[in-house]
Amino acid sequence: MRALPAPGRRGRLVCFAAVGGVNTLTFSACYLPLHRLLPYFAAYTAAFAVSMVGAFFLHTYVTYRTRPTWTKFLLFPLTQVTNYGVQSAGLVALVGWCGLDTALAPPVAALCAVPFSYLLSRRILHPPHRPGPARSGPARHAPERPGPAAQAGPPSARSGPAA
């Protein structure tokens, strides 16, 4: 089975937004039942953690089509902290400075935070390729083909008597 090709930038942004929607649904699906069993903040925290782990794997496999690693997993919460910070600052600016209604400001602030979250998640989950040292010889992915010397047999058969 062949892997799907990685989406282009526009496609990645669409995937990022779709995963955000799934993440919101996951959070709600966890929070609402837990809220009946636990105090609201405990339910919120548990649902947040579950949805963040789900978002990590969805962004890794769907948005960026890369392999998850422990380093990426441990850095991924930075995207959520950034999202929260940008949304909070946007909320204060939209309400306090722009006079936007407090009911309308949160979704506008959330939309403003999407590019920041996207750029940071891309940096963490799909870092730019850093070329390694120059190699001489075949590329790793190319199958090795034996040359004429390798096909002729052992060195003693090829070179005649040792001098």
| Domain residue extents for the chain | 9-127
Cα distance between residue 148 and residue 78, in whole Å: 55
Q: Nearest 10 degrees: CA dihedral of 62, 129, 11, 68? A: 10
Type of residue found at 103: A
pTM: 0.65
Q: Helix, strand, coil shares of the chain as percentages rounded to 5?
A: 65, 0, 35
pLDDT in tens, the chain (163 residues): 444 555 666 788 889 889 988 988 998 899 899 999 999 888 888 988 999 999 999 999 999 999 999 999 999 999 889 888 998 899 899 999 999 888 888 888 888 888 898 899 989 988 776 665 555 544 444 444 444 444 444 444 444 555 4
